[in-house]
Amino acid sequence: MLQTMAASDKNLLLDKIAIACNRATHLHALCSRLGQVESAAAAARRRERLQLEANHLLGNYYAHWNGDLREARQLLDAANKTLDGYLQDIENRIDLAESIAKAGVVLDGAIGIAAKLAG
């Protein structure tokens, strides 16, 4: 269902994308600290892509954004919550490789949500 998004709705979604960017930065820092060079580089690329999508949305702030506001908000909330869990697992070195890989998949999903909003 497409709907017109008010400025406050767009701000809320941008905030949630910013939270995902912060999680990507955290993942990058953790991977760097743990010597996971390739994973750190992948996290940095994902963070840059999220920032690119956020900047695209900001550039088109007054244009129509695509998608269902409630669904996008729920998906971004779920992604951020899931990322928090994986980041905690990584900090505690629980299933390190698997947790890093799964966090990357969740970040890819957040990128997809942001890209879909931008159309």
62-85 pLDDT per residue, tens? 888 888 888 999 999 999 999 999
| CATH code for the part of the protein at 7-118 | 1.20.120
Give CA torsion, residues 56, 32, 37, 25, to 10 deg: -10
| Among 59, 66, 119, 107, residue whose Cα is nearest residue 83 | 107
What pLDDT score was predicted for residue 3?
Answer: 54
pTM value surpassing 0.85: yes
Percent of the chain, pLDDT > 90?
80
Residue 40: C-alpha distances to residues 43, 92, 108 (Å): 5, 17, 15
Residue 99: C-alpha distances to residues 4, 13, 56, 84, 94 (Å): 37, 26, 29, 11, 7
What pLDDT score was predicted for residue 63?
Answer: 84
End-to-end CA distance of the chain: 14
